[in-house]
Amino acid sequence: MSLFGDGRVALLGAAETAERLGWPQRRASLPDPEIVLRPRSGDPRREPWIAPPSWRPWRDLIALGAGPGPGETWTFLESVPGVLPYLERFAQPAHRSFSVAVAGLGRVGGAAASVLAAAPASRSGIRELLLYDLDAANQERWLLELGSVAEWRGDDDLPAVRATTPEQVFYHCDVFLFVATAGVPPLGSENEVRLVQFRPNRAILDGFLERARAARFTGLFLVVSDPVDWLAQAAFHDSNTDQAGRFRGDGLAPERIAGLGLGVMWGRALAAARREGWEPAVRSRGLAFGPHDSDVIVYDDAEAPNAARSAVITRAAREANYLIRHLGFLPYVGPGVSSVALTLPRLLAGNEVLASVLADGLYFGCPSRLDWGVLPRAVRGCAQVVSEVTALHERLRERARELGLVWQH
């Protein structure tokens, strides 16, 4: 079967896609391509459009554990209209440093940007921060604040800090952080305060999705605003839905979207383990699954969970948000630092992180890694963990239907 494309990436067969891309048949005199992509059949509403050899359809933790078979290659969904710009981006040399845009410089966005601005670019992989806020004075304030971050006679280059606009940002950044919000529920609000932000924050998100579409943005689109998981789901759903509510498949690719919210849930669970004297064991063997809200599940050891310990750290992850609010403060340092500033550099370096990623059509918090797309990673878990996590996934899928975030036809 013929190879198409003269660069580092070649298509195996797929002559029609190659013609649409303008990729010629590969000359025999060229060296072997770094990556060979073959067409794959599948459902673009439930799985990545471009996937590495290790990817498997997500059903449960055991299915995730399967590795690539002999001779397997990268694959792509040839029938999806929106896959072409992603194939063009995928064929380019991999990034070694990144331009990261932060849209929304409130409490969480400001905390995250502060830590990222102080991290040497050689360590974080971030060469510049592009800042935007709807409030022009607040944006200028953060440009002045972060522009003043420096170490006397320091040898490390820190990220450059520049302003951007919604009209420009998707033409210049590699990573877009959506941290904008219409307003955080005030102190004294009872019960879960994250979901009430869904409608107003989704409306803000829609404006950025329109601009990303106009710019044919193929970078990473990372959601931080609450409710993280549902807004990540909305980013995929809304960018790929026509006016009749049907899937059109010409928006953001699902594997290039992720939600960053599970990191702080893990941090809160680990803080409880530290207080109990369990930190070393939990740090080395613990796992967290699910959303950045009161449905999250944390295990002290996914292969042999201790029910009492897991209950303690799960409760801490679920309730710390309320404890801080009851003290009279809005919780934002932990989310900004743990979920974003400590997670993003690890993600960009290709290391495992906790993030909400597409798992069988639903953005679900789990161990993940960036390998072109941000995808679930194989984990080991006992039958109890498999059962509980799968049940949580199903409950959240039903909630996604209720919120109108999955396609019905």
- pLDDT for position 57: 75
Taking 70 as the threshold, does the pLDDT of residue 38 lie above it?
yes
Pairing of strands 3-4, 9-12: antiparallel
Average pLDDT over residues 20-48: 95
Intrachain domains 98-259 and 262-331+350-402 with the same fold: no
- pLDDT for position 101: 98
| CA 27-31-39 angle, 5° bins | 70
Lowest mean pLDDT among 44-53, 223-232, 377-386: 377-386
What tokens does 185 get?
Answer: 């529920």
For the segment 174-186, what is each residue's pLDDT rounded down to a tens digit? 999 999 998 766 6
Contacts 24+ apart (CB under 8 A), 59-68: 59/360, 59/390, 60/386, 60/389, 60/390, 61/379, 61/380, 61/381, 61/385, 61/386, 61/389, 61/390, 62/386, 64/376, 64/377, 64/378, 64/379, 65/378, 65/379, 65/380, 66/378, 67/378
Taking 80 as the threshold, does the pLDDT of residue 110 lie above it?
yes
Amino acid at position 364, single letter: F
More confident of the two residues 69 and 173: 173
- pLDDT for position 62: 46
| Burial class of residue 212 in the structure, from the number of CB atoms within 10 Å of its CB (0-12 exposed, 13-18 middle, 19+ buried) | buried
Amino acid at position 91, single letter: A
Q: What is the layout of strands, in order, in the sheet containing 74-77? A: 3-4, 9-12, 35-40, 74-77, 50-51
| Burial class of residue 172 in the structure, from the number of CB atoms within 10 Å of its CB (0-12 exposed, 13-18 middle, 19+ buried) | middle
Average pLDDT over residues 121-143: 98
Backbone CA torsion sign across 50, 53, 59, 61 = negative
- pLDDT for position 308: 98
Taking 80 as the threshold, does the pLDDT of residue 203 lie above it?
yes
Report the predicted TM-score, pTM, of the whole model to 2 decimal places: 0.95
Lowest mean pLDDT among 50-59, 241-250, 329-338: 50-59
- pLDDT for position 408: 75
- pLDDT for position 71: 54
- pLDDT for position 191: 56
Taking 70 as the threshold, does the pLDDT of residue 187 lie above it?
no
Domain residue ranges of the chain, discontinuous segments joined by +: 3-90, 98-259, 262-331+350-402
Q: What is the DSSP letter of 46?
A: T
Average pLDDT over residues 325-332: 92
* pLDDT band with cut points at 50, 70 and 90 for residue 335: very high
Lowest mean pLDDT among 1-10, 273-282, 336-345: 1-10
* 68: nearest Cα among 51, 58, 53, 47: 53
Taking 60 as the threshold, does the pLDDT of residue 333 lie above it?
yes
Query: What distance in Å separates the CA atoms of residue 361 and residue 254, rounded to the nearest whole number?
Result: 9
What tokens does 30 get?
Answer: 């060229």
Average pLDDT over residues 253-262: 98
What tokens does 192 get?
Answer: 């879960």
Taking 70 as the threshold, does the pLDDT of residue 376 lie above it?
yes
* 358: nearest Cα among 155, 58, 104, 129: 58
Taking 70 as the threshold, does the pLDDT of residue 318 lie above it?
yes
Taking 60 as the threshold, does the pLDDT of residue 65 lie above it?
no
What tokens does 320 get?
Answer: 């710390």
- pLDDT for position 202: 96
98-259 CATH: 3.40.50.720
- pLDDT for position 185: 64
Average pLDDT over residues 314-334: 94
| Backbone φ, ψ for residue 345 (5° rounding) | -60, -40
* pLDDT band with cut points at 50, 70 and 90 for residue 61: very low
Instruction: State the chain's mean pLDDT as an integer.
Output: 93
Could you please report the per-residue DSSP string of 328-377?
T----HHIIIIIIITHHHHHHTT--EEEEEEETTEEEEEEEEEESEEEE-
* pLDDT band with cut points at 50, 70 and 90 for residue 94: confident
Work out the percent of the chain whose per-residue pLDDT is above 70. Answer: 94
For residue 3, give the 3-state DSSP assignment: strand
Average pLDDT over residues 33-43: 95
Among the CATH numbers 3.90.110.10, 3.40.50.2300, 3.30.420.40, 2.40.50.140, which is that of 262-331+350-402? 3.90.110.10
